[in-house]
Amino acid sequence: MSGLGVIPIADIPEVVAGELLADLIAAAAAAQGTPVLDGDCIVVTQKIVSKAEGRIVPLAPDDLDARRELIERESSRILRRRGDLFISETTHGFVCANAGIDLSNVDDGSAALLPVDSDRSARKIRDGLRARHGVDVAVVISDTFGRAWRRGLTDVAIGVAGLAAVVDLRGSSDARGRELFATEVAVADEVASAAELVMGKAAGIPAAIVRGLDPTWFRESAVAELIRPPAEDLFR
Amino acid sequence: MSGLGVIPIADIPEVVAGELLADLIAAAAAAQGTPVLDGDCIVVTQKIVSKAEGRIVPLAPDDLDARRELIERESSRILRRRGDLFISETTHGFVCANAGIDLSNVDDGSAALLPVDSDRSARKIRDGLRARHGVDVAVVISDTFGRAWRRGLTDVAIGVAGLAAVVDLRGSSDARGRELFATEVAVADEVASAAELVMGKAAGIPAAIVRGLDPTWFRESAVAELIRPPAEDLFR
């Protein structure tokens, strides 16, 4: 029996530009009695990554023109529009609402843009935890996206370091010894979703530890593994 | 600090039609030293539910015509087709590949159809655990679906009992006291994804315990909460 633990990291102080998230995370986890350990995967929400990286821009809440310009600037392509809602492909290749621009949990009159390169953001946290805190972990940067077909939002990975974004089980056998097909599992997305269950949108918990993941999933990776090329996509 | 535990339930014997999954689950969980407890959420994969409910039909592996007929019979609408892959809307309203018909982990020459009513399947397991094992739990029936836009599969809920499929945080305030928008969280899908992380496609583990979920999420519910009506859907 090898289970998972999902531990919220509470009491991370308000993040300002230039701060080292690795230090904030290590300190908060230790302070609550659950220090970060080798083999953990740390899930960090986009919001505090964007704040630490200074990706906060002014945006008046009622200025719909400025909002639209910002969405267009952060997008390579608008896929659908309904009223104020834009579904676009971001410059990173993510398909999400409003180019991932976030108005909650930031100061009034400002908006949080997605990190420029969330894999790099994840690596920086991972490297910081290793170099300054002596722990070897994986890091997932998470954000809250909608889906086609299904109602409700789920958290997904927008950046990874040290954890397979997708685990390819093709060619493995199922429990009856027959070859499996179509079994690329989006492990990093499932890790982000698991972490969301302890963070809660309103609770202001911006990070969590996922402990007990399969050690074979720890490898160099990139979130691009999770991006379906438009040519492969039957719904774009 | 209130974390989650995700515990695989191993060594559930091969399931045949008519078996009571509640009993198999309770026995296997107890045998491995992690008995089911009040407040747990039990995630059960579609495969063993379909087997217990006799939703196994003969299908020769190479008979593509029969395969296609079966997919059409289980679908209300075919949305896309590429080669052997059909993306359809099932009679339940799910959008997934091949109407959710599954060829892995079943006998050669047969296929597992989705349960007729997975909410009912979930209720039956929930009621059985309460009536015969004295534990008050929620149940999620999970299946492995692809997504538009993103590569890799994730587990989602296809049936629920006693757990909110979607938690509506609209109108709650964020950590800065500002009203949140667009915060309907697909909790049952995230629970299914968390459970998948300990099941592993190839490991043959068909159920898991998710322990420590927010008690306010335990309520009567239906998986229909997760189905986006086609008229609302910008991608159908």
Q: For the segment B34-47, what is each residue's pLDDT rounded down to a tens digit?
A: 999 999 999 999 99
- Residue B205 belongs to a domain with what CATH number? 3.30.1330.100
| B61 and B88 housed in the same domain | yes
Of all residues in chain B, the one with the smallest CA distance to A230 is B149
Q: Contact A204/B174, CB-based, under 8 Å? A: yes
Instruction: Domain of residue A196: give its range.
Output: 5-54+115-226
A236 within some domain = no
Q: Which residues numbered 98-117 in A keep a CB inside 8 Å of some CB on B?
A: 103-108
Q: Which residues 42-71 of chain B have a CB within 8 Å of chain A?
A: none
Query: B208-236 pLDDT, tens per residue?
Result: 999 999 999 999 999 999 999 888 888 87
- Interface membership of B222 toward A (CB under 8 Å): no
Taking only the tens place, the pLDDT of each residue in B108-145 is 789 999 999 999 999 999 999 999 999 999 999 999 99
CA of A3 vs chain B CAs: smallest distance (Å): 4
Establish if A233 belongs to a structural domain.
no
Indicate whether A69 and A179 sit together in one domain.
Answer: no
Q: Are residues A147 and A219 in the same domain?
A: yes
B12 and B67 assigned to the same domain: no
**Structure tokens, B4:** 């989650």
B95 vs B78: CA distance, rounded Å:
9
Query: Is B33 in the same domain as B122?
Result: yes
Average pLDDT in chain B: 91
The number of folded domains in chain A is 2
- Tell if the CB–CB gap between B7 and A3 is shorter than 8 Å: yes
Using CA coordinates, name the residue in chain B closest to A234: B80
One domain, residues A104 and A220: no
- Mutate which: A86, A94, A144, A190, vs B, most B CBs within 10 A: A190
* Residue B185 and residue B200 share a domain: yes
Half-sphere exposure of B39 (CA within 13 A, CB side): 8
Q: What is the pLDDT of residues B173-188, one digit of tens each?
A: 666 655 555 589 999 9
Task: Looking at the structure, tell me whether residues B97 and B26 fall in a common domain.
Answer: no
Residue B203, pLDDT above cutoff 80: no
For residue B236, tell me if it sits in a domain: no
Residue A234 lies in a domain: no
Q: What is the pLDDT of residue A175?
A: 62
From the CA of B144, how many Å to the nearest CA of chain A?
9
Q: Which residues of chain A have pLDDT under 50?
A: 1
Contact status of A164 with chain B (Cβ, < 8 Å): no
A170 with A65, same domain? Answer: no
Q: What is the DSSP letter of B196?
A: H
CB B69 within 8 A of CB B63: no
Q: State residue A103's pLDDT score.
A: 72
Contact B201 A189 (CB under 8 A): no
Closest CA–CA distance from residue A130 to any residue of chain B (Å): 24
**Are A137 and A38 within one domain?**
yes
Task: Name chain A contacts of B108, Cβ cutoff 8 Å.
Answer: 178
Same domain, B198 and B126: yes
Mutate to test the interface with A, among B7, B180, B190, B218 (most CBs of A within 10 A): B190
Q: Would you call B175 and A202 a contact, using CB atoms and an 8 Å cutoff?
A: yes
C-beta atoms of B1 and A181 within 8 A: no
Residue type, A48: I
A8 with A44: CB under 8 angstroms? no
CA A63/CA A109 separation, integer angstroms: 10
Mutation target among A9, A82, A147 for the B interface, most CBs of B within 10 A: A147
pTM of the model: 0.94
Q: Supply the ipTM of this predicted assembly.
A: 0.93
pLDDT at A84: 83
- Distance of alpha carbon A202 from alpha carbon A156, whole angstroms: 18
Segment B18-29 shows an average pLDDT of: 97
Contacts of A179 (CB under 8 A, 6+ apart): A171, A172, A173
pLDDT of residue A173: 61
For tokens 């953001």, the residue is: A121
Predicted local confidence at residue A180, as pLDDT: 52
Among candidate residues A114, A133, A158, the one where a domain is terminated: A114
